[in-house]
Structure 1
């Protein structure tokens, strides 16, 4: 049970003008590195792209307007497990049947921003050409150390810890039974909600299965699974340097990224580009990218967000290999990284549905919100009538 009474308060932050001017000054004073001619994205961030983005962030981007747009979402803060947690809580609009509460779990490098485009699609499907009977009550929390939630002052929290907080949050909101969905670290949080609270989670939807951990006999793996393990190893060797830094020495990177907005942009935008379907120019506008970056900058949470990798690296292998028995669905978007084969999903979860949407990448809820919302509506349809508001 919560240590203090659960009392959400409306939340709509407004950044002080002097903080915005400090950011602009830092951006204008960026000390640029050199880069080989025509390097593009081959060595990490495309320096020409970054220069243009930073120039716009300094002298064109309207953060107060974007902050006001985010404030139109029903946002709150409340004490959960001794921490101040920021969350969106949007109730179903004119539902035509039983409403399923749904907690959406984000990952890195993002926050509640990941789901900003899908909230209305899920709470008011009838207004978007879908069946009103598919309406959800939607809860989108910022994990501790991300966005507008408190940064833990002690040891960083793992995905297991966050799952426990979200179970407490949903109970505080009056939801004894609910659905869970997520991607990236949010996929792990959703998984541990299902593992540790199976009596409360009606079903769980994920856009990935994380990196594989296997403690069994390799001879029992299918050829498809073995090929995927090899693909994951190659991906880790070529794309996983960021994760190794986060797991082992996050404070070293944080000292630079928390001081340099251009450095912060390079660290995050390179991931948006590499993990999205068609790259950064296809899935996002400059204003959308800079809204995400501004949330990180003004909350000062790049270091605390990276520390969660360190916490997750300490999770015991026995936890990582537990089988999920709660009904599980997967939408494996075309442009996502290290997409698992169905054999692995069925080995590790009670898999009842797998789809492969034709568009979208790692941030599918933001890249392709209508398609992502459709995936959730279709998957959770059989589990309606199991929530309590």
Structure 2
């Protein structure tokens, strides 16, 4: 599909409408899927029967137009930042004292990852909350994701995205704001918090980018030891997708652009590994919500462009670590998350820890799995800064 150009410096309403020919092409590709034989043992990836069942749902019951209407109801807009067209959702609160809040997704997420949070965050009274917890919400699509443009050259990593989001918030008229993120969104939020004069007054993440030193591993208490073991298991058995995208994003991009079932299987593998579930992550997230996420990659054709974020970030990380984070921050650690951190670990790396909680349920996709818990964690983190 072709995205209409956006005038520089303007934030303009953008109606998402996928041509019916693109949906018909998807239906045809699903019908002509060349299926492999069944797996020979557990742990080799999503089981054949699960993918076949998902495709039946996709072709017979899933409705993209429902998803499209939801996107268009949430302040869907486009603007150009640093030469790149950016798609975003911008939902203002009815509360006069609401504070702006930037929500940052990662891979394989999209702006829809936060849809269950937008109502409670912008209009807490209507959702059983308090008016003083209200936020104006801004949710941009990462460069190369969803209906944002695809970079045509290198350099669009975490740091440049952080700078772009700072400019985006300024352009929207927000000079004193908060930021929240998970996955790569947590890395972007962390980078925003290290930019002097950004306007960002506080951060919250549900993926703590904290990696214990050998000394911390040696001195770990039982809870920290479990965190170390969880990260080691993920690195040993579950991060093949990340290594591929960090080293050969173009290679996997050909497959992700050409096969909808291949794309769905690639993403479902991640959900299998890091959603907090009892056997099937789609019992937690829901098949339609999962397919919405897949469609946000399939329809704009972002299989390669979104994967390149890993390639970009790996080269940024080679530049070395930074000092303690200066912006006040809160952490929500969910049990299904691959990377977890204790309070004492994060307090050694950030100057002001506003909040740290170990949750009893939920995983990597907290906004999709446990939206009510995440909403309350965000509110709790920023209450102290609202009254400061």
TM-score, structure 1 as length reference: 0.91
Shift of 1:20: 0.5
Task: Give the superposition deviation at 1:76.
Answer: 0.5
The alpha carbon displacement at 1:273 in A equals: 2.2
- Which of 348, 372, 375 is the equivalent residue of 2:374? 372
Contact preservation (8 Å) 1:222, 1:343 = no
Q: Aligned to 1:87, what secondary structure does the other structure show? A: strand
Per the alignment, do residues 221 and 162 of structure 1 end up closer, same or farther by CA in structure 2, a change over 3 Å counting?
farther
Mapped partners of 2:350, 2:370: distance in 1 = 26
Once the two structures are TM-superposed, the CA of residue 296 in structure 1 deviates from its matched residue by: 0.7
Instruction: Determine if contact 2:98/2:134 at 8 Å carries over to the other structure.
Output: yes
**Aligned residue for 2:261?**
262
Q: What is the CA deviation profile of residues 9-59 of structure 1, one whole-angstrom value per residue up to 9, with x for unaligned ones? A: 11121111111010000001101111235x45x211122111111122123
Report the counterpart of residue 195 of structure 1 in structure 2.
194
Offset, 1:168: 0.5
Checking the alignment, whether the CA contact within 8 Å between 2:355 and 2:380 is kept in structure 1 is no
Q: How does 1:22-37 map to 2 (within 5 A)?
A: 22-36=25-39
The aligned counterpart of 2:349 is 348
The offset of 1:371, in angstroms, is 1.5
| Distance in 1 of aligned mates of 2:217 and 2:38 | 47
- 1:1-389 to 2 correspondences below 5 Å: 6-36=9-39, 39-40=41-42, 42-95=43-96, 98-197=97-196, 200-210=199-209, 212=211, 218=215, 222-224=219-221, 228-229=227-228, 231-278=230-277, 279-317=280-318, 319-350=320-351, 351-384=353-386
SS of the equivalent of 1:205 reads: strand
Q: CA–CA distance in 1 between the matches of 2:339 and 2:299?
A: 32
Change (3 A) 1:229 1:359: closer
Q: What's the secondary structure of 2:85's corresponding residue?
A: strand
Equivalences, count: 377
Measured after TM superposition, the shift of residue 336 of structure 1 is: 1.7
| Residues 151, 21 of structure 1: alpha-carbon distance in 2 compared, 3 angstrom cutoff | same
Change (3 A) 1:31 1:280: same
How far did 1:316 drift?
Answer: 4.3
Q: Which residue of 1 aligns with 2:3?
A: none
The alignment yields a C-alpha RMSD, in angstroms, of: 2.1
- Give the 3-state SS of the residue equivalent to 1:320 in structure 2: coil
**For residues 133 and 322 of structure 1, do their structure 2 counterparts lie closer, same or farther at Cα, with a shift above 3 Å needed?**
same
Name whichever of 299-308 and 351-360 sits farther off: 351-360
Please tell me whether the aligned partners of residues 39 and 47 of structure 2 are also in contact (alpha carbons under 8 angstroms): no
